[in-house]
Structure 1
Amino acid sequence: MSQDAPAATIARPDLVLHLPDIHCAACIASVEAALARLPGIREARVNLTRKRVHLCTDGLDADGVIDALAARGHRAQRLDTDLLAGRDSTGRDLILRIGVSGFAMMNVMLLSVAVWSGAAQATAQLFHLVSALIALPAVAYAARPFFASAARAVSAGRLNMDVPISLAIGLATLVSLLGALEGAERPGWFDAALALTFFLLIGRYLDHAGRQAARSAASELAALEAPQALRLQGGREEIVRAASLVEGDLIRVRPGDRVPADGVVRDGESDLDRSALTGESRPQPVAPGAEISAGETNLSGPLTVEVRRAGSDTRLRRLAELVAVAENQRSRHSGLADRAARIYAPVVHLLGAAAFLGWWWGTADGWRALDVAISVLVITCPCALGLAVPAVSTVTTGWLFRRGILVKSHTALERMSEIDMVVFDKTGTLTTGELVLAGDPPDAVLALAAGLAQASAHPLSRAIRAAAHARGLAPVPVERLRERPGRGVEGRHEGREVALGNPDWLGMKADHDETVVGLRDAQGATYALRFAETPRADAAASVARLRAEGYEVALLSGDAPGPVARLAAGLGIERFEARMSPEAKVDWLRARRAEGRRCLMVGDGLNDTGGLAESHASIAPGNALDAARNAADLVLLHDRLTAVSDALAMARVATRRMRQNIWLSVLYNAVSIPLALAGLATPWLAALAMSSSSLTVSLNAARRMR
């Protein structure tokens, strides 16, 4: 074990823990001492800079390690090692299978050329045997995803697209092997089986690449829960699991900590960042008697909280469950390729069976009938159909990515093309999320406020200092500065008391729908400093463009009615709602769905995740929280809101092109199936037809986007 050692010194740690409280060499020594007592830990490295410990264990349970550290006074939280390493084992596996099938296909085709060119019988048989030696292990390895999927479908009593694919590959390989062993003059299908596998794996990989970016927002919300809490027992703090808290427990919430349970403040004053759950942009002061919720962040003073709800009963957990339900409903959305596949699978089975029975009845030659049946299965296998949608999705998502729009969901483009209403969140989406001083207070007032604000890291204090700096005003010197958590800042100027903070604390009347800070000067006069959010520079242009393109625009916000109404009026949005909880946003979107509307939700906060998951499609700005980005179908990688219109326009183009590709696949089958049924589809013709159809849909997908 070593202090601040780099993670690279452990090749593959199987357990990584976050240690939020360590801050010195003594902490590291204490962590190492606790870990040294645990059997099953082979190696450990503590990184003080990143506040992590990397462990190599003999399958040790993470809970045991976390409990051992808690007993020594160290909070710990497990981190996902695969997520940290950015691993994608499925993608790597598909690429390897594509490489194996492609290499084998090229070698077998070279041998097949010699056979098709009229090689002598002994030479042809030798080439067939060599082809078998190459093809059998390649097919067994590369086509395994299709065989496994087909086996699962059949065992469940249903058909999917992989069932006819597996039949075609398996029968083509088996019949070719029997012919090679017998020295028969029948044409072999090794090259066709490998070509099928190669092209279908490419389509499978493109589809996987589109799906892999999507991560569950419900899991992300669960990850935001504080896993441990500081419970007060007899005046002492003990580290316990947050899920073990019960109603009535007293817990300590330090500045910077996330609240681990819903409860009521019993002692202490502070400011809370509640934007995650309410969408309120301004920190909220809390004092004894105030209710707080899990997932909120304590900003300034320590709090003692009496637990009301913990574990699965917290508001944060209920929100996560709400998102999970909505995501599950969206995952049932049927894409174009899925709908085509449901029709395709039974039709191909019927055609293959009809070809076999018809030729057997007409020729009494079982091998000939089997060859024709295989040709039907091979030539109708969905190489083009398998590429039709993923190829367009890959080209379109690449085009959008180069323009700063990341597409995460594999059906997002299709759903985006169906949108008729765009719904925006306010704070952080249509506005910058930063509060700025509004109005034009006198220079003397602003300079005094800036002098008091120097003692606070509160966002409103920063806004005051920024406003004074923009005017070129130097902060007035204030002595004996003292911050009062949850209230404000006080000090002495010219020998008299001055204060800056909550208007109620200063005895001022204030409109609680507004963001106001009170100032009391040395003469006892009070002033109200008002703040407002700044709309994004292109918010008005974006809304105007969407309305011009025929979309209805709505605004949903958890903020007060006054600021919401003013922003809506300034941007030309006629339909807006204020003081909306996350649950209310979901209910509003469900009501629109019941009316037959297809809503696009654009939001950035944790309180928007339910709406992002519930809506027909969703977009998160690049500055959104991780949970919002993971709930959204698309993420803007920049601050341009006009990209929303760009994404909608490109989705319509992409969906048209997907339908074109599916019709090209249908046309290919309309031409090739009669040839196969007539017994004219030789192995080389089948391979050429499959390659041509796949190339056609790929070229159509790659056409310039307009």
Structure 2
Amino acid sequence: MTETPDLTHFVEKLDDGRARLNLAVEGMTCAACMFEIEGGLGALPNVTHARANLTSGRVAIEWQADDVDPAAVVGRLAALGYKAYPYDARRMESDEQQEARFLLRCLGVAAFAAMNVMLLSVSVWSGNASDITPEQRDFFHWLSALIALPAVAYAGQPFFRSAIRALLSGRLNMDVPITLGVVLALTLSVFETLHHAEHAYFDSAVMLLTFLLAGRWLDQNMRRRTRAVAANLAALKAETATKFVTESEISEVPVAAIRPGDLVLVRPGERIAVDGEVEDGRSEIDQSLVTGETAHVSAERGTLVYAGTLNVNGTLRVRVGAADRGTLLDEVTRLLDRAVEARSHYVRLAERAARLYAPVVHLTAILTMIGWVLLGASWHFAVVTAIAVLIITCPCALGLAIPAVQVVASGALFRGGVLLSSGDAIERLASVDTIVFDKTGTLTLPEPELVDAGRIAPETLALAARLALASRHPLAAAIARAAGATAPLDGACEEPGQGVSALVDGEELRLGRPSWCGLEAEAGRVAASDPEASVIAFRHGTTTAVFAVRQRLREDATAVLAGLRARGFAVEILSGDRDAAVSHVARQLGVSEVRSGATPADKIARIEALRAGGRKVLMVGDGINDAPALAAADVSLSPVTAAHLTQSASDAVFLGDRLQPVATALAVTRRARRVMTENLWLAVVYNAVAVPVAIAGYATPLVAALAMSGSSVLVILNALRAKQGTGDAPWKS
């Protein structure tokens, strides 16, 4: 009995009448796989869109609603040789971890076997040049076989499985010639050993696997680190909401059951589950994960609130505008998914190269064998020459040309305080000519600081700081940190939306809103002198003070931006913060191109406009509202303090409190790109010389393996130049 999976529950209905299905796909290892999957699914009737994403391991398929059976999509992928299932973040992460461990074990086995077989091969080579007996040579060959055959059988599985799937589905991929080269080299080696020949090629097969497994593990490990977006988004979405079923009765229900117009209750400390308008109550809202602004926003009747934000200290009744679908958080998710689907120039080049590589290699080897037979050579010589062609054209040097530089440059970037999370980020960073910065938490430090402590009497600051310890408000926390307060005042209590108060010796102390403390006029003067600052007032009888708190610019922001402009980069500020604060920062940094009050859609639009004008854009941001723009840009960076979603959407994360890592990333990657270009030319020149030599019959499989290994070593040695001039000093905060 055949079981047909029911996938209709996983189909998403789009607004324009189409349907969409996201699937996780196993076995998608290269650009050629992406081309095969997209072409195969695109051939299904009524399918309007099929896009494979190698980094996330997912495939998105869209079709006219009710015209395609989702099971047929999975069946089509199975016919192509790929196992697919509905995307599940936990299952996919578990599978990826298992695959990474398996690749590492394979690499360890292959490397250990290669070292031992090479030692035996050196003994045979030196013996052939001196006085080794045929029996001793055969012994070394059989000992090599005893090591190589089981090692290759185990370590070669990632390539063998992929090649078999491809062949069973009637297609070729890059693993097919690799598998053929390894298997034929082993078969020929056993044949030569049985016939007491001077040469066997066990070392060739094991060395091939060692180099190729190293490249595959590095690539797979890079891609694995970017696959946590769905889990991070899920953490922000509340699963339930407290709904008023009558004027006085409440019930906790799934968010999916909430409808526009419903009334929900939001308690202190809860994450808001819906977009809506406050109908009753007063509180403060932490919107930092959505807007990027760390200052809490006061919420009272008429205030708009958004799903994913945090209700800090008061109880609110919210009239629902949007719930499960159509919220700001849902819009961010949709924009992020759409931006991530954009296919880079490098991936398109890889697709074309992958489509050409396998058939060209096979055709060259077959024509070599046929040509020698027609010229009168023996079948043995023709087969050996064809195997040599397969081995010598193995894409080791070509495959390592980019990953080797990535590894070296990644180390240099780490020393400069930059951690890469995307395999092709180096190439894309190197092509940047325009840099777009978010303000809050990016050009500024993430935590606000008290900026005018010098004009406040020390005893007043100390008392206000002790009172501030009773509040979780970021402005109060800044005052407490500035004074180093550790002992809170007894009996302090917080008034939602106003501030915190306490009685000391029968006299009330207040810290909070200027209007609550009766200090509006003084607060206005302080705010006018520093438009970017937020103000918080303090009153103790006749003793008063107004504190200016703001996020301080990163220590080296001015110097770094000046240096970037001097090197020819166009610099912009694109922020969701208010105009006064953004303009103030822009003047300090000397940036003339500024946009404030930008929504996630506005940021996407600006990035796309720049790219449409031929610009290569680097986006640097830290808030969830920056995530779609980060994904839409050619390349993106975020500070390590950024939201998890933002880090997942970024191609790299920088460490510390300085902005210098951004400049370091651009300098290192430009040098790395030059080295990558050199490596690619080395690989091309190697093939231009080595392939004709192998076709002409002047290269045995052993010589072919040595040439292949030599080209790989040359590429790696050249890759080491990518770290020159970057310095070895660790990054500093």
Pairwise TM-score range, normalised by the shorter structure: 0.7 to 0.9
Instruction: State the SS of the aligned residue for 1:104.
Output: helix
Alpha-carbon distance in structure 2 between the residues aligned to 1:518 and 1:408: 40
Partner of 2:659 in structure 1? Answer: 641
The alpha-carbon deviation at position 325 of structure 1 amounts to 1.8
1:199 equivalenced with 2:234 (yes/no): no
1:464-503 per-position Cα deviation (integer Å, ceiling 9, x unaligned): 5566x49x9x99x9x9965331234567899998865446
1:650 equivalenced with 2:668 (yes/no): yes
The alpha-carbon deviation at position 320 of structure 1 amounts to 1.3
Alpha-carbon distance in structure 2 between the residues aligned to 1:345 and 1:540: 51
Query: Structure 1 stretch 361-370 or stretch 627-636: which is displaced more?
Result: 361-370
100, 104, 108: which one aligns with 1:99: 108
- Structure-2 change in CA distance of 1:364 and 1:450 (3 Å): closer
Alpha-carbon distance in structure 2 between the residues aligned to 1:672 and 1:690: 9
The alpha-carbon deviation at position 682 of structure 1 amounts to 1.6
Instruction: State the SS of the aligned residue for 1:195.
Output: helix
- Structure-2 change in CA distance of 1:115 and 1:523 (3 Å): closer
591, 601, 607: which one aligns with 1:573: 591
Partner of 1:698 in structure 2? Answer: 716
Partner of 2:562 in structure 1? Answer: 544
571, 578, 603: which one aligns with 2:621: 603
Partner of 2:430 in structure 1? Answer: 417
Alpha-carbon distance in structure 2 between the residues aligned to 1:537 and 1:575: 21
The amino acid that maps onto 1:90 is E
The alpha-carbon deviation at position 160 of structure 1 amounts to 3.3
1:556 equivalenced with 2:578 (yes/no): no
- Structure-2 change in CA distance of 1:126 and 1:519 (3 Å): closer
- Structure-2 change in CA distance of 1:344 and 1:685 (3 Å): same
180, 183, 194: which one aligns with 1:170: 183
The alpha-carbon deviation at position 680 of structure 1 amounts to 1.8
Query: Structure 1 stretch 552-561 or stretch 99-108: which is displaced more?
Result: 99-108
Q: Are 2:215 and 2:399, in contact at CA under 8 Å, matched by a contact in 1?
A: yes
The alpha-carbon deviation at position 113 of structure 1 amounts to 5.6
Partner of 1:14 in structure 2? Answer: none
**TM-score relative to the length of structure 2:** 0.75
The amino acid that maps onto 2:494 is E
1:589 equivalenced with 2:607 (yes/no): yes
The alpha-carbon deviation at position 128 of structure 1 amounts to 5.4
482, 493, 496: which one aligns with 1:485: 496
- Structure-2 change in CA distance of 1:253 and 1:126 (3 Å): same
358, 378, 381: which one aligns with 1:368: 381
1:348 equivalenced with 2:377 (yes/no): no
- Structure-2 change in CA distance of 1:523 and 1:186 (3 Å): closer
Alpha-carbon distance in structure 1 between the residues aligned to 2:462 and 2:412: 50
The amino acid that maps onto 1:402 is R
Give runs of aligned pairs for residues 460-479 of structure 1, distance below 5 A: 460-464=475-479, 469=483
Instruction: State the SS of the aligned residue for 1:535.
Output: coil
Give runs of aligned pairs for residues 442-461 of structure 1, distance below 5 A: 456-461=471-476
The alpha-carbon deviation at position 557 of structure 1 amounts to 0.9
1:317-374 per-position Cα deviation (integer Å, ceiling 9, x unaligned): 2211211221221567428776655554343223212201211111263332222111
- Structure-2 change in CA distance of 1:418 and 1:114 (3 Å): closer
Give runs of aligned pairs for residues 73-222 of structure 1, distance below 5 A: 88-109=97-118, 117=127, 131-154=144-167, 159-178=172-191, 183=195, 185=197, 188-222=200-234
The amino acid that maps onto 2:314 is G
The alpha-carbon deviation at position 223 of structure 1 amounts to 2.7
Partner of 1:315 in structure 2? Answer: 328
Partner of 1:304 in structure 2? Answer: 317
Alpha-carbon distance in structure 2 between the residues aligned to 1:292 and 1:533: 23
Alpha-carbon distance in structure 2 between the residues aligned to 1:541 and 1:227: 46
Instruction: State the SS of the aligned residue for 1:334.
Output: helix
Query: Structure 1 stretch 364-373 or stretch 237-246: which is displaced more?
Result: 237-246
Instruction: State the SS of the aligned residue for 1:544.
Output: helix
The alpha-carbon deviation at position 97 of structure 1 amounts to 1.0
Give runs of aligned pairs for residues 432-447 of structure 1, distance below 5 A: 432-436=445-449
673, 682, 689: which one aligns with 1:664: 682
- Structure-2 change in CA distance of 1:527 and 1:694 (3 Å): closer
Instruction: State the SS of the aligned residue for 1:635.
Output: strand
The alpha-carbon deviation at position 264 of structure 1 amounts to 2.6
The alpha-carbon deviation at position 314 of structure 1 amounts to 2.1
The alpha-carbon deviation at position 115 of structure 1 amounts to 6.2
The alpha-carbon deviation at position 293 of structure 1 amounts to 0.9
1:223 equivalenced with 2:235 (yes/no): yes
Alpha-carbon distance in structure 2 between the residues aligned to 1:95 and 1:490: 59
Alpha-carbon distance in structure 2 between the residues aligned to 1:695 and 1:336: 25
Q: Are 1:441 and 1:529, in contact at CA under 8 Å, matched by a contact in 2?
A: no
Give runs of aligned pairs for residues 35-54 of structure 1, distance below 5 A: none
Q: Gaps (5+ residues) in structure 1?
A: 1-77
The alpha-carbon deviation at position 607 of structure 1 amounts to 1.4
% identical aligned pairs: 44
Q: Are 1:265 and 1:303, in contact at CA under 8 Å, matched by a contact in 2?
A: yes
- Structure-2 change in CA distance of 1:677 and 1:267 (3 Å): same
Instruction: State the SS of the aligned residue for 1:257.
Output: coil
Q: Gaps (5+ residues) in structure 2?
A: 1-87, 726-733
Query: Structure 1 stretch 696-705 or stretch 588-597: which is displaced more?
Result: 696-705
- Structure-2 change in CA distance of 1:681 and 1:150 (3 Å): same
1:642-680 per-position Cα deviation (integer Å, ceiling 9, x unaligned): 111111000011111111112112222222212211112
The amino acid that maps onto 1:98 is L
Alpha-carbon distance in structure 2 between the residues aligned to 1:219 and 1:321: 15
Instruction: State the SS of the aligned residue for 1:258.
Output: coil
1:288 equivalenced with 2:301 (yes/no): yes
Alpha-carbon distance in structure 1 between the residues aligned to 2:233 and 2:696: 58
Instruction: State the SS of the aligned residue for 2:217.
Output: helix
Alpha-carbon distance in structure 2 between the residues aligned to 1:79 and 1:216: 7
Give runs of aligned pairs for residues 379-418 of structure 1, distance below 5 A: 379-418=392-431
Alpha-carbon distance in structure 1 between the residues aligned to 2:478 and 2:647: 27
- Structure-2 change in CA distance of 1:197 and 1:434 (3 Å): closer
Alpha-carbon distance in structure 1 between the residues aligned to 2:202 and 2:394: 15
Alpha-carbon distance in structure 1 between the residues aligned to 2:152 and 2:479: 69
The alpha-carbon deviation at position 90 of structure 1 amounts to 2.5
Alpha-carbon distance in structure 2 between the residues aligned to 1:553 and 1:368: 63
The amino acid that maps onto 1:139 is V
Q: Are 2:434 and 2:618, in contact at CA under 8 Å, matched by a contact in 1?
A: yes
The alpha-carbon deviation at position 199 of structure 1 amounts to 1.6
Alpha-carbon distance in structure 2 between the residues aligned to 1:79 and 1:631: 16
Alpha-carbon distance in structure 2 between the residues aligned to 1:560 and 1:523: 34
Alpha-carbon distance in structure 1 between the residues aligned to 2:121 and 2:501: 89
Partner of 1:616 in structure 2? Answer: 634
Q: Are 1:337 and 1:385, in contact at CA under 8 Å, matched by a contact in 2?
A: no
Partner of 1:246 in structure 2? Answer: 259
The alpha-carbon deviation at position 111 of structure 1 amounts to 5.3
Query: Structure 1 stretch 661-670 or stretch 338-347: which is displaced more?
Result: 338-347
Alpha-carbon distance in structure 1 between the residues aligned to 2:464 and 2:716: 64
The amino acid that maps onto 1:93 is F
- Structure-2 change in CA distance of 1:299 and 1:127 (3 Å): same
Alpha-carbon distance in structure 2 between the residues aligned to 1:298 and 1:606: 17
The alpha-carbon deviation at position 102 of structure 1 amounts to 3.0
Q: Are 2:464 and 2:538, in contact at CA under 8 Å, matched by a contact in 1?
A: no
- Structure-2 change in CA distance of 1:452 and 1:396 (3 Å): closer
The alpha-carbon deviation at position 225 of structure 1 amounts to 1.4
The amino acid that maps onto 1:88 is Q
Alpha-carbon distance in structure 2 between the residues aligned to 1:395 and 1:336: 23
Q: Are 2:412 and 2:668, in contact at CA under 8 Å, matched by a contact in 1?
A: no
The alpha-carbon deviation at position 243 of structure 1 amounts to 3.2
